[in-house]
Structure 1
Amino acid sequence: MAKNPLPPSGASGKIVTAISFTALSEELSGSKTHLHEQGQLVLSMLGVVACEVADNHWIVPPYCALWIPAGVPHQSRASANARGYFLFITPSASTLPDECCTFSISAMLREMIIELCEGRCDRSIRSKDLITQLLLEELSAMPKVSTHFPMPADLRLRRIAESLINAPDNRKTLEQWASFGGMSERTFSRQLFKDTGMSFGKWRRQLHLMVALKLLAEGKSVQQVAGDLGYEAVTSFIRMFKLALGTTPAKYVSLPDLGRKRK
């Protein structure tokens, strides 16, 4: 049976709860992994939020939101002065996926989230219900973007993953990494695809994208980020970034701050 995305009249406060956050340090959820009875949407308006979910590393860049289904253990961190919103959504009220994913969030949807959290105090229950209904409908229609770095289950591959995380500028070839893990190239490629669904090239690009988003949010230039990731040519880094997010790094960092408080 399909889930009903529309809350009954007068139920918006129980269906969707919106909370704003400002990260004064890297910790958002404390040092312990936790879970919620409701699904959680993590929306970043400024800076970058990082989440660890089921051994996968997720990045939530500005203008995107990470969906964490109910009951899924996770831990959240953020870049300094990151701002955004947490939405807690009753599982039975939405048609959102049963697995984690990152959504690209439209301007209209952002404004509805801000309104639910910081809007008029005298708004009627019916008005809040209508906003909640439209928000849930719009959210389920948002396009997905890939902003996670999957950690393999195979211990040999996890050792490689940890080495890449510690030194993302390491440009070892597939053959060299396979040797580092004590495997043949064929075994490495086959096991990596089995564990992550990705080729080695795509897997490493995912890590580069996540590191790039974090470094750009910290104020590093496009040239600095490209160098930190081991790209000999800045154009190669720009091409990778645009292919993943549909925009260049320079345009990305020039996006206006939508996280400012309303007057």
Structure 2
Amino acid sequence: MAKHLLLPSGASGKIVTAISFTALSEGLTGSNTHLHEQGQLVLSMQGVVACEVADNHWIVPPHCALWIPAGVPHQSRASSNAHGYFLFITPSASTLPDECCTLSISAMLREMIIELCEGRSDRTTLSKDLITHLLVEELIAMPRVSTHFPIPADSRLQRVAEALIQAPDSRRTLEQWASFGGMSERTFSRQLFKDTGMSFGKWRRQLHLMVALKLLAEGKSVQQVAGDLGYEAVTSFIRMFKLALGTTPAKYVSLPSVGYKGQ
């Protein structure tokens, strides 16, 4: 697949360039795989943004941001109600990770990003530089959140991954999925761990977490999401969610939303 180099407008000479986006219909870059000379932060303020990076499917739920290092090919999609910001950061200006990761974004950091993109136009260069340097420093300190589903390199496991994505509520056992992939249970488990570093149970739970974040952001109730993922007991779903994100689905949904200033 072709990889296109995209440069943010007006980025020359800036440590950080902030650009807002609004998805009036589903999609941002569509099927175009591209990369940037700068590192890119994808911040979701509302709705859900999904990115495909290095054989991993990432979900960027509200209150979080995906960090994509400079030079890493990726493509992005968004739900039709999504809006947020892209930040482009000069690689030499920070010690942000050299691998993709999802960061939990504090309220103060979100406000700084909004200010850089849509704030006062009469700010002095010194004022903007102070905000920029503090923003980068805060980004480095943000905790990571696991919101990606790794796609194995093995073609047999890729087939299983595609089937799971199509039917996340499937309750097939490990033995049944191994048979579906044309492998013994032992070979399946060994190859999956080699390709993803995860057991089958953890791998499937990771997919469930991503789907849950997307459905909750779309307004579905906790009970509906649990049912869509095949959980017989809502409490089991809540337990899985809390173990992954440190809070219950209901509390996550009730987090204060960030005001958006449409352009």
TM-score of the two chains, using structure 2 as the length reference: 0.93
After superposition, the Cα gap between the structure-2 partners of 1:242 and 1:173, relative to the gap in structure 1 and judged at 3 Å, is: same
After superposing on structure 2, the runs of 4+ consecutive aligned residues of structure 1 that deviate more than 6 Å are none
**5 Å matches for 1:184-203?**
184-203=184-203
Q: 1:141 maps to which residue?
A: 141
SS in structure 2 of the partner of residue 183 of structure 1: coil
Distance in 2, matches of 1:105 and 1:257, equals: 12
Distance in 2, matches of 1:56 and 1:27, equals: 18
SS in structure 1 of the partner of residue 98 of structure 2: coil
Distance in 1, matches of 2:93 and 2:85, equals: 19
Q: 2:43 maps to which residue?
A: 43
SS in structure 2 of the partner of residue 236 of structure 1: helix
SS in structure 2 of the partner of residue 191 of structure 1: helix
Q: 1:256 maps to which residue?
A: 256
Q: 1:163 maps to which residue?
A: 163
Is residue 106 of structure 1 aligned with residue 106 of structure 2? yes
Q: 1:116 maps to which residue?
A: 116
Identity %: 89
After superposition, the Cα gap between the structure-2 partners of 1:32 and 1:71, relative to the gap in structure 1 and judged at 3 Å, is: same
**5 Å matches for 1:6-155?**
14-155=14-155
- 2:249 partner amino acid: P
Q: Is the 8 A contact 2:104 2:144 kept in 1?
A: yes
Q: 1:6 maps to which residue?
A: none
SS in structure 1 of the partner of residue 50 of structure 2: strand
State the Cα distance separating 1:260 from its structure 2 match: 2.1
State the Cα distance separating 1:12 from its structure 2 match: 10
Gaps of 5+ in 2: 1-10
CA-to-aligned-CA distance 1:202-242 (integer Å, 9 cap, x gap): 10001001111111111111111111100000000011111
TM-score of the two chains, using structure 1 as the length reference: 0.93
Distance in 1, matches of 2:183 and 2:30, equals: 38
Name the stretch that deviates more: 175-184 or 49-58. 175-184
- 2:84 partner amino acid: G
State the Cα distance separating 1:142 from its structure 2 match: 0.7
Distance in 2, matches of 1:246 and 1:94, equals: 28
CA-to-aligned-CA distance 1:47-78 (integer Å, 9 cap, x gap): 11100111210000111000001111111111
- 1:135 partner amino acid: L
Distance in 1, matches of 2:29 and 2:112, equals: 24
Q: Is the 8 A contact 1:12 1:132 kept in 2?
A: no
SS in structure 2 of the partner of residue 37 of structure 1: coil
Distance in 1, matches of 2:23 and 2:41, equals: 16
Is residue 236 of structure 1 aligned with residue 208 of structure 2? no
SS in structure 2 of the partner of residue 213 of structure 1: helix
SS in structure 2 of the partner of residue 219 of structure 1: coil
**5 Å matches for 1:211-226?**
211-226=211-226
SS in structure 1 of the partner of residue 112 of structure 2: helix
| Greater relative contact order (Cα < 8 A, sep 6+) | 1
CA-to-aligned-CA distance 1:80-120 (integer Å, 9 cap, x gap): 21111100001111101111000011111111111111111
Q: Is the 8 A contact 2:27 2:80 kept in 1?
A: no
Gaps of 5+ in 1: 1-10
State the Cα distance separating 1:159 from its structure 2 match: 0.5
Distance in 2, matches of 1:252 and 1:195, equals: 31
Distance in 1, matches of 2:186 and 2:142, equals: 37
- 1:181 partner amino acid: G
State the Cα distance separating 1:252 from its structure 2 match: 1.5
SS in structure 1 of the partner of residue 33 of structure 2: coil
Q: 1:183 maps to which residue?
A: 183
